[in-house]
A and B are shown apart, each in its own frame.
Chain A
């Protein structure tokens, strides 16, 4: 809405109010009430809303958690070794149990949250930005740019990404920056392909043709017409990729070339606890649950985001009794 005034700098708001007849103003108000704000829509959707709440909690934990935990995550206390969870007698720090060195699982989980996000978020962000810009550019121009880009993507994809990571991290040191870089590199083709496909489809749309007939430059058209449409898809993809990168990081950590102890990540916690699975299940299960719950929350939010950010689909979220509709589908006969 406000973009009109951005496009036309130096002007006040259009004289909307007084000139309008009453009936028209009423109609305007009605259109507003039928398409509520994103936030309100989110509140209406139970699943997406809980997903968002969980992700927010994870984020807050990553930011403030380690400070609150102090040295609890590394402090060893053999008196409290291998304590089972959910025993209030052990005090809140051992609520989720403890490992064989008597370290609090809860505290380690909280500290690991930060490490996990510090790898996953930048890796996803870097891959997303590079991959989607590249893809949009390749898809818009078609021709050799598209061919070269896609073959490059194929080459990266055909390389087993973990193997690539192993080689690279073995040669260079397995620092957080290197892990982020290698994870980002191997995931770029995913965004590249998706963005290319959407952009190639969009560049054949009539409104893009219309922009070409004014003589708008390709980059201007990409910025104005292609990127805003591609963003929701890419964001959805990125939330899904977030899960993948989290798991990839834990695989690397498991192989010993990811996060290095004494740093901990969720993946590393799972792999460290794996050998105690029979005797101390909580060591792997809780970090595993953290991964699963975060992944599901990201997925739920992604599914919602995809619809909510598309103006032509948004109304679907506002239809009351969506679930009832599914049961009402009559048997459709083809003839």
Chain B
């Protein structure tokens, strides 16, 4: 009952497909011993209400950095050096720190990978869950506790009345992740950023958490930005995908379309290296080499060193993200070559 009371003001009427987050030309720089390096370069994407956008990429590709830049949680060595982050039409980068905290605190929720490091071990989870209500809604401790119990019920924690006073370490990994999600959706945000929310969990628990996220997304009509390295999770959970590589977006578009007809050699290479029904003992096709270090990103295309199709043009000119099919964009000079069913090996020869 308490739920409906507090949610009346924020419950939004169904406006599916409304753009909630628009990121354009986002640059993030990091200070290092050898000078400033660009960790995220010209990233842009759009997240819509009631839909899930996946940021897909390998470690170090800048996907987490992008998410942190959106949430304003960058490490002190990193800072946003360009671009816009519009949440509901308001540019977060132009706001003062105070304004931003007020807007982002209520309208943007974030779920991290490792629940144990995010939750404070010395406070009961109820207090931590109620904090958002006390800060942003000015509720009393008692009312906040009630809200915390309601939230715990909502994310499927059994016996919330008795467990509200338990400490984080008394919960299992899956339950802690639920608590984190509860914290993130406490104020009915318009945007939920989930940074590898299930990487640390077992598959059976992962399925439960993904179910929960899907249900909350529908109930709240939230836009979800799901950051992951798992192609299968993207295929199952997301509507749109942005494939990131070395701090740039390599390809983006609707998941089914991108995965069925990848138009960037990196996306295609990733898809081919998944062991799907591959013969036991047969060689998987793999992408040679490893991603470039951020300080050694080559001029021209960022993917040239690992790309089987790289040519002279790729070494000289960095491809920009362009429309290669309706709704699908890729940053590749030769993405037309990929518009076939052949594997990369076959295309190369």
Binding site for B on A (CB under 8 A): 27, 30, 33-34, 315, 318-321, 325-326, 328-335
Contact = CB atoms under 8 A, between A and B. Distances in A.
A334 B31 contact: no
A332 B73 contact: yes
B184 interface: yes
B50 interface: no
A67 B76 CA distance: 53
B33 interface: yes
A331 B97 contact: yes
B146 interface: no
B154 interface: no
Nearest to B184: A335
B172 to A, nearest CB: 22
Given A320-B31, A333-B101, A328 B79 contact: yes
Contacts of A34: 33-34
19 contacts: A34-B34, A318-B33, A319-B31, A320-B33, A320-B35, A326-B76, A328-B76, A328-B79, A329-B76, A330-B72, A330-B73, A330-B97, A333-B73, A333-B101, A334-B118, A334-B131, A335-B110, A335-B184, A335-B186
Interface of B: 31-35, 72-74, 76-77, 79, 97, 101, 104-105, 109-110, 118, 131-132, 183-184, 186, 296
Given A319-B31, A328-B79, A333-B105, 10 more contacts: A315-B32, A315-B33, A319-B33, A320-B31, A321-B31, A325-B31, A325-B76, A333-B72, A335-B132, A335-B186
Ordered nearest first, which 8 A-B pairs have the shortest CB separation?
A: A318-B33, A329-B76, A325-B76, A335-B132, A34-B33, A333-B101, A34-B34, A319-B33
Contacts of A329: 76
Contacts of B35: 320
Contacts of B72: 330, 333
B74 A330 contact: yes
B76 A319 contact: no
Contact of B296 (A27, A315, A321, A328): A27
Contacts of A319: 31-33, 77
A335 B105 contact: yes
A331 B97 CA distance: 7
A331 B101 contact: yes
A33 B35 CA distance: 13
A319 B32 CA distance: 6
Contacts of A30: 34, 296
A318 B33 CA distance: 5
A335 B183 contact: yes
Nearest to B74: A330
Contacts of A328: 76, 79
A325 B101 contact: no
A327 to B, nearest CB: 9
Q: Count chain B CB atoms within 10 A of each CB in A321, A325, A331, A333 and give the residue with the most.
A: A333
A325 B132 contact: no
A80 to B, nearest CB: 55
A326 B186 CA distance: 31
B60 to A, nearest CB: 16
A328 B76 CA distance: 6
A296 B62 CA distance: 42
Interface-centre pick from A27, A319, A321, A326 (highest chain B CB count, 10 A): A319
Contacts of A325: 31, 76-77
B130 to A, nearest CB: 11
A86 B172 CA distance: 70
A328 B30 CA distance: 12
A34 B109 CA distance: 38
Contacts of B118: 334
A30 B73 CA distance: 31
A329 B77 CA distance: 8
A231 to B, nearest CB: 24
A33 B186 CA distance: 49
B146 to A, nearest CB: 18
Contacts of B186: 335
A242 B234 CA distance: 58
Nearest to A33: B34
B195 to A, nearest CB: 14
B151 to A, nearest CB: 12
A298 to B, nearest CB: 27
A321 B33 CA distance: 10
Contacts of B77: 319, 325
A27 B305 CA distance: 14
A297 B132 CA distance: 46
A33 B183 CA distance: 45
Nearest to B101: A333
**Of residues A27, A30, A332, A335, which shows the largest number of chain B Cβ atoms within 10 Å of its Cβ?**
A335
B338 to A, nearest CB: 27
Given A326-B76, A328-B76, A335 B33 contact: no
Contacts of B131: 334-335
